[in-house]
Structure 1
């Protein structure tokens, strides 16, 4: 914001009061030279203050002298603000392929409206992001339910903390599948219900929410999806050859780092959750091994039972599976093997198979429990070994564009899988500071340019005044204004 600064013409004093000042020419107002200098010094001080602000912003966004971030990066829910209602009749309407943000308090239930036709399968997700450092108890979490206007339960799911103090983003998605169930098949007004469970000892503050709803078009009339490939469930041998490439996981689905088959390395601070997305095409099966390396131990007696975690999510943000291991500074490993991607999986009785029913970016979240900070110093080195089985196959014939819902894999998805966070943002915690730094630098530049032009104009006015004969010469003077 630029503050407008006007110059008010001073009152003439004639020969009374202070009288003409030194170096004054006829027509120059008393004290103008002093006001000129004071204004210049004020402008310079403003520039210096903004420069200091810029330096502070840059310094705050840089790692500590050890080269590591000073604090865990956190997910800042994005999207349009949408206040969920306390009753279904007042539920605000959600639009497809749109991200929303809200908050939810302990024990609170919120409702959001979703209008569906009789052909489109729909998926609504909600994720809560408790503040870093807040207290959560076992069983705290959120519970989702999708209902029709007639009160039919279309789907329900929940996500709860499984350990004391396990602060991290939690959530999943619920769905309305066409042709799979007998209920919730018609065109109707549906409602997404989000409820927060909370222990009495947990922090009472509201949790930020990020919500999203997407639609999957129906298949073209007369077409059927091919059956799932016949892959086994035996876990493949982890990759042991090749150079590990650097990745920097994002703090959310929207900033997840794109990675593909190969070996990737990263570093995760206690209290952080880092997201990675892997493009998996129709007919392919992905396995991810997360190797948590040894770190510098500071307390041999510390033990965190769920110290490290690996979670897998579908392209519509539905939780597929989540595994954790104890961690006390010694290396350990977790793996997630998903079913081969097939449209026909939606009819599977196994939930973990049924959720792998479309090609697209599958998300893997790596979490280090906040209490790991009591056992080790600094971040935990993590190596992700990603393996893909099976050749990509042609997808089903959709009667519409499934890409709007994030379904499908194209050449760009593969070529952009270079380990960088989406959008190039390293973390939400530093982006605001980096913006502030650039804003301060820009404001300082504007002030400097304005100050230079103002001084040049003042010197030209002074020169014109000196060349004009005056009836009364000054008694003494200091000459022209000094050069800045």
Structure 2
């Protein structure tokens, strides 16, 4: 029968459905917000920065005490001036390995030429497997600096055995630089070997000498660059617009499959100047990184408040690139997400007002080819992409690390919507049943209504 309880139940059901709808709208509207606490750049304010993620891991001063890292796990630590931090890595005799470290000096700090970190991967008997330096230039711009070192199976002649290896991170510093400890973010991944007898293929001819042509066709779309690899905005072939504050580094990632070649232009627009003749040397920068966070190349240019452009063109992706003599080619040796970091120098804030508009022209060319015959799942190392990765690249973060909060909110929204739907269906069945009963015995239904209830018989539906 249609009673006050029925009305309350209907109101409750409607409220539940409304809450579910609101939750879903919140998920969709907040998808562009980074889960590390930063938001997309929309106007003047403090520059967003990379906050180190992962598990705390205190590096040791000796190889004997080096704490073990696990593959695919992100760690964070700190490093002082002149300090060397060591971390243990256990490797088999089949998998190639890549260990990355990034220093994250706080905004407003002082850095000088050759300040930075130096990475080295060593075997148990002291062989130098790989080493790389990640130093600041003479521009004094504080930004994330780092790269990755590797142990390649079948390419190098040393460090091929199954054993305990050590990743060491050493901090160099000029005497006039900020002596505060720097946060570190570290990670290492394993690339499975090819199946026995599988061909590695042949490396392409390389980059060539012709300058690429920027992509100009298409309607520009909005992107919200992240502050780290984990929160990088996923973008595909197209034109993408963003705004970067002085002192910020914004990350974007591009899905590039086997056999494909990526070219990214970063156009820095004019901005409202606050000086008559503004000039900032190395005022803007564009850097390219591999799927394992290895620096491929970077470029910088002065900024005067007028338009300027930088570009990075990668080699076509090939497993055989790992044997190339050109390091820029050798680092493009697997399909996956390739990262591009856009930096605006902190001193630009003295020359212009507010953020600098940036246009990314992303062009991925070539037909996707079949992946090599891996003896294992390379996706665990972030190697390889699929059709979903490309279709989902809409200018917002797509990685698991950056979307976990959104996924949870989306789950709650759909759970609420599901509960509301069930209640709505149950109510509909109840009302229909009540209506049939009312038709069969209208007097009985009317007599059972509470006196002075204010409700009449069930409405005609």
TM, length-normalised to structure 1: 0.73
Residue 292 of structure 1 is matched in structure 2 by 268
Q: Which residues in structure 2 correspond to 1:139-178 (within 5 Å)? A: 139-178=114-153
Deviations 1:161-217 (A, max 9, x none): 112421000000000000001100000100000000011111111100000000000
Task: Give the 3 Å change call, closer, same or farther, for CA 200–394 of structure 1 in structure 2.
Answer: same
- How far apart, in 2, do the equivalents of 1:92 and 1:343 lie? 32
Deviations 1:337-393 (A, max 9, x none): 000000000000110000000000000000000001111110000000011221000
SS of residue matched to 2:385: coil
Task: Give the 3 Å change call, closer, same or farther, for CA 422–72 of structure 1 in structure 2.
Answer: farther
> Structure 2 residue aligned with 1:352, among 314, 328, 336?
328
> What displacement does 1:424 show?
10
Residue 79 of structure 1 is matched in structure 2 by 54
Equivalent residue pairs, number: 368
Residue 475 of structure 1 is matched in structure 2 by none
Residue 399 of structure 1 is matched in structure 2 by 375
Say whether the 8 Å CA contact 1:62–1:69 is kept in structure 2. Answer: no
Say whether the 8 Å CA contact 1:163–1:306 is kept in structure 2. Answer: no
1:217 lines up with 2:211 in the alignment: no
- How far apart, in 2, do the equivalents of 1:63 and 1:237 lie? 32
Say whether the 8 Å CA contact 1:218–1:400 is kept in structure 2. Answer: yes
Residue 445 of structure 2 is matched in structure 1 by none
- How far apart, in 1, do the equivalents of 2:196 and 2:402 lie? 45
SS of residue matched to 1:413: helix
> What displacement does 1:411 show?
1.6
Residue 18 of structure 2 is matched in structure 1 by none
- How far apart, in 2, do the equivalents of 1:380 and 1:425 lie? 28
Say whether the 8 Å CA contact 2:57–2:76 is kept in structure 1. Answer: yes
> Structure 1 residue aligned with 2:64, among 89, 92, 102?
89
- How far apart, in 1, do the equivalents of 2:345 and 2:181 lie? 21
- The 4+ residue runs of structure 1 with deviation greater than 3 A are 61-64, 229-232, 422-427
Task: Give the 3 Å change call, closer, same or farther, for CA 294–148 of structure 1 in structure 2.
Answer: same
Q: Which residues in structure 2 correspond to 1:19-168 (within 5 Å)? A: 68-168=43-143
Q: Which residues in structure 2 correspond to 1:458-469 (within 5 Å)? A: none
Residue 329 of structure 1 is matched in structure 2 by 305
Unaligned stretches of 5+ residues in structure 2: 1-36, 410-461
- How far apart, in 2, do the equivalents of 1:409 and 1:332 lie? 32
> What displacement does 1:423 show?
6.5
In angstroms, what is the RMSD of aligned CA positions?
2.1
> What displacement does 1:300 show?
2.5
Residue 250 of structure 1 is matched in structure 2 by 226
> What displacement does 1:236 show?
2.9
Residue 378 of structure 1 is matched in structure 2 by 354
> Structure 2 residue aligned with 1:199, among 131, 154, 174?
174
- How far apart, in 2, do the equivalents of 1:123 and 1:288 lie? 24
- How far apart, in 2, do the equivalents of 1:210 and 1:122 lie? 17
Task: Give the 3 Å change call, closer, same or farther, for CA 213–297 of structure 1 in structure 2.
Answer: same
SS of residue matched to 1:288: strand
> What displacement does 1:238 show?
1.1
Deviations 1:50-109 (A, max 9, x none): xxxxxxxxxxx9999x96142100000100000000111000000000000000011110
1:268 lines up with 2:257 in the alignment: no
- How far apart, in 2, do the equivalents of 1:377 and 1:388 lie? 34
Deviations 1:230-252 (A, max 9, x none): 56532332122221100010000
Say whether the 8 Å CA contact 1:257–1:275 is kept in structure 2. Answer: yes
- How far apart, in 1, do the equivalents of 2:276 and 2:310 lie? 22
- How far apart, in 2, do the equivalents of 1:269 and 1:331 lie? 16
Deviations 1:116-137 (A, max 9, x none): 0000000000000000111111
Q: Which residues in structure 2 correspond to 1:183-198 (within 5 Å)? A: 183-198=158-173
1:411 lines up with 2:387 in the alignment: yes
Say whether the 8 Å CA contact 1:130–1:167 is kept in structure 2. Answer: yes
Residue 424 of structure 2 is matched in structure 1 by none
196-205 or 294-303, which deviates more:
294-303
Say whether the 8 Å CA contact 1:63–1:69 is kept in structure 2. Answer: no
> What displacement does 1:304 show?
1.2
- How far apart, in 1, do the equivalents of 2:207 and 2:308 lie? 25
- How far apart, in 2, do the equivalents of 1:81 and 1:350 lie? 36
> What displacement does 1:301 show?
3.4
Residue 6 of structure 2 is matched in structure 1 by none
- How far apart, in 1, do the equivalents of 2:60 and 2:206 lie? 45
- How far apart, in 2, do the equivalents of 1:357 and 1:390 lie? 16
Say whether the 8 Å CA contact 1:113–1:190 is kept in structure 2. Answer: yes
SS of residue matched to 1:376: coil
